[in-house]
Structure 1
Amino acid sequence: GTPVVHISLRRDGAKNKSLICCRFMLSARAVGWGLTVVSVAGAMSSLSGSTCAGCRGLGLHRLGAVPGRDPNRTNDMLLLPPQIQDHSSASKHVVFFHGDIQNFHEEMALHSDAAPWVGWSLEQAGRVLGRRFPDSHIWVVRASRMYLHKFSCYQHFVQCNMFGAPEHSGYEAGQGAFCQLRSLLSNAMTRANLPHPLPPPEGSDTTIPPGFSLTLVGFSKGCVVLNQLVYELPGAQSDPLMSEFVQRISDMFWLDGGHPGGSETWVTNKAVLKELASSGISVHAHVTPYEVCDPMRAWVGREHEVFVKTLEEFGACPSKKLHFEDEPPSIENHFRVIQEF
């Protein structure tokens, strides 16, 4: 059966604050709350097979425990085939990295703090992206660990603590986010029996299929993967086994990036941003007041501004938009950026 984590939440203080927090950060947003893990019955199940209950009627296929750069670094994935078939759709791919709380539909429905947001499950996110990119394969990558069923941890892409706060580093051949991403896509395409799958980076023939293009989308915590890719970009471009793959990335979308660390929510390192600006990758930064206008985490807004302005200084033209700027900050609008970008 599905393993369950039983959690008791102890509230100190008089105000009736919501138990639901997109990041559930150990910060000012979580002051006055105590967490006690009562019991943990096993790890999250590795879901294998094809179509899942939450995917019926959506054209989604679930691929469980897809191996990345080594057999022990696996991620569950969802695949939504192109909704519009043409001569180029077989080669277009969009990869989505989700935020905290988001999980498969049935996992979210089991937990009271996630259930109110089940409308933003991984299945639903895949379907929304399918409407946004109807001529592309949509790949939803589930974080390899969901601490307390809330905190998405992408430790197979970037070093991070138990709450998913990252520690970014540069490129290392055969390691890191680029290698994990390419290996995941290669193995997932092979398992899904797609024609002309992406070859693994360590194979005898690493030639990228003709017309292959890649769009990367990170939402909230998922943006830590995009940030790590930016830190690795200079080295990856210099690696003959990875450079052609990097050149096939057409667009990167940051959607309301956020994580529980106290800095580096957005990349501000000028050296790596200079490489991003000259890479030819189209950069898109979509935010909401929930992240960039929070006075308790003022560095997020400042870092976002530095990210955009630095890219502009280096000659890039990142697209940027503040969504719902005339509405009060809310978790609902935070999620809605997935639909509105």
Structure 2
Amino acid sequence: MDRWTGLLNVSLSNGCAGPFFKIAASLFLSPSKTLAVPSINAIFFRGDQVEGTGDAVVERLSDSKNLLDTILLKFQNSAVNAWVVEASTYNGSFAVYKEMIPTVNSRGEPKGYDPIGFPATSSIVSIISTCINQIQDQLSVNTLKESIPPASSSKTIILGFSKGGTVVNQLVTELAYLATQHASNSLGTDIPQISDCCMFPTSSEGFLNSISEFHYIDVGLNCSGAYLTDKSIFKNLNNYAVNNDKYIRFFLHGTPRQWCDPYRPWIRQEKDLMLHLLSEECRSEGKLKVIERLYCGDKNPSLRMHFEIIDVIDLS
């Protein structure tokens, strides 16, 4: 099946005002060359910029278009729409996701994860919706614009690489907060399963409800906060999953580069605690699933393996 693939620059204001996010996207097309409804939207968040290493693997996987191609190969499914998102702001090499995580400092390091206002969720919905509108406008130049049927079963898979894992943490926190909001509002235990858009959800709630998997890909920071360690977050998520009869899977993918760093021992400590907390919730009801995978475990830590994990990662 044919695909539309390209690079876009979009702002949250959907206009000429910045800051702009650089997005690499690949969307599959119907036989009439119009956008078709995906079964999965896979959204990959990049980390810091790395340039001039001279390593072919690092240089290749530092390019968003190459990342996009690599991600698509993992799914082997023509019905997947894939998105690679770069931070709008870089302080030198540091990625700063300040619109999605308002607590980050000038190096993009979070002081914490505050779900109030759903900053990451609302930003992502705005960015992807703008991308889809731009792509549809391009396609409509040569083809008739067709109506797209609803896609209530479309799922979203979130992938965060390196510092991109901070966005994953923010989204997990916002989903857990959404569950508590519905409970406190006495709207019953069920959270409405919103299908508010055919290509991609247009509301924060619809987007959060569509997420089925979170992938942490060799995440790490020069401070604490690479993984979530608040027990209440996972308890709220488990209650949400049980009440809505859905499964949410967490994948913790890592290499010795992050998990065995003697100068940053907190990364492994946080990872182990998050794994423990998730495992406890898995045993209680079975709606949350957690899988831990170590890659390049027989090699010495290196920058190359940090990027090489993207090539060898198992997303199944």
Give the alignment's TM-score, normalised by structure 2: 0.74
Which residue of the partner structure matches residue 48 of structure 1?
Answer: none
Identity of aligned residues (%): 24
Aligned to 2:310: 338
The correspondence for 1:90, drawn from 22, 28, 38, is: 38
Q: Secondary structure at the match of 1:335?
A: helix
Match status 1:220 vs 2:162: yes
Alpha-carbon separation, structure 2, partners of 1:218 and 1:163: 17
Aligned residue among 62, 65, 89 for 2:7? 62
1:251 Cα shift?
A: 1.0
CA distance in 1, matches of 2:4, 2:230: 40
Residue ranges of structure 2 left out of the alignment (5+ in a row): 138-149, 183-191, 193-202, 242-246, 283-287
Greater relative CO (CA pairs within 8 A, separation 6+): 2
1:164 corresponds in structure 2 to 108
Question: What's the RMSD between the two structures over aligned residues?
Answer: 3.0
* 1:152 counterpart = 2:98: no
Distance 1:69 1:226 in 2: 23
CA separation of 1:211 and 1:192: change in aligned 2, threshold 3 A: farther
Question: 1:275, CA displacement in angstroms?
Answer: 2.6
The offset of 1:81, in angstroms, is: 2.5
Conservation of the 8 A alpha-carbon contact between 1:156 and 1:177: yes
Q: Deviations over 1:237-263 (max 9, x none)?
A: 4367633321211111100111222x1
Matches within 5 A, 1:24-35: none
Whole-angstrom distance in 2 between the partners of 1:254 and 1:68 = 29
Deviation (angstroms), 1:172: 2.2
**Equivalent residues in 2 for 1:10-89, closer than 5 Å:** 60-67=5-12, 72=18, 74-82=20-28
Which residues in structure 2 correspond to 1:204-243 (within 5 Å)?
209-237=151-179, 238=181, 242-243=204-205
Paired residues of 2:55 and 2:304 also in contact (CA < 8 A): no
Q: 1:122 to 1:311 in 2, by over 3 A?
A: same
Query: Aligned pair in 2 of structure 1 residues 255, 69: CA closer, same or farther (>3 Å)?
Result: farther
1:122 alignment partner, one of 64, 67, 75: 64
Matched residues, number? 261
Q: Secondary structure at the match of 2:76?
A: coil
Question: Within 2, Cα distance between the matches of 1:84 and 1:224?
Answer: 35
Q: Secondary structure at the match of 2:108?
A: coil
CA displacement at 1:68 relative to structure 2? 6.1
Query: Structure 1 residue 114: deviation in Å?
Result: 7.9
Q: What secondary structure, in the 3-state scheme, does the structure 2 residue paired with 1:61 have?
A: strand
Which residue of structure 2 lines up, in the alignment, with residue 99 of structure 1? 47
Q: Which moved more, 1:133-142 or 1:270-279?
A: 270-279
What is the aligned partner in structure 1 of residue 221 from structure 2?
Answer: 259
Name 2:293's counterpart in structure 1. Answer: 321
Deviation of residue 133 (structure 1)? 2.0
Q: Which amino acid aligns with 2:215?
A: F
Q: Structure 1 residue 78: deviation in Å?
A: 0.8
* Alpha-carbon distance in 1 for matches of 2:30, 2:229: 38
Residue ranges of structure 1 left out of the alignment (5+ in a row)? 1-57, 103-107, 195-207
**Comparing 229-238 and 93-102, the one that deviates more:** 229-238
Report the counterpart of residue 36 of structure 1 in structure 2.
none
What is the DSSP-based 3-state SS (H/G/I as helix, E as strand, rest coil) of the residue aligned with 1:155? coil
Q: Give the stretch that moved more between structures: 291-300 or 131-140.
A: 131-140
Partner-residue secondary structure (3-state), 1:140? strand
- Are the counterparts in 1 of residues 220 and 258 from structure 2 also a CA contact under 8 Å? yes
Q: Does 1:269 align with 2:213?
A: no
Could you tell me which amino acid in structure 2 is paired with residue 266 of structure 1?
Y
Find the aligned partners of 1:191 and 1:66 in 2 and give their Cα distance.
12
CA deviation vs aligned residue, 1:68-105 (integer Å, no higher than 9, x gap): 699645412111224999xx863421100011125xxx
Native 8 Å contact 2:14 2:130 kept in 1: no
Distance 1:83 1:189 in 2: 12
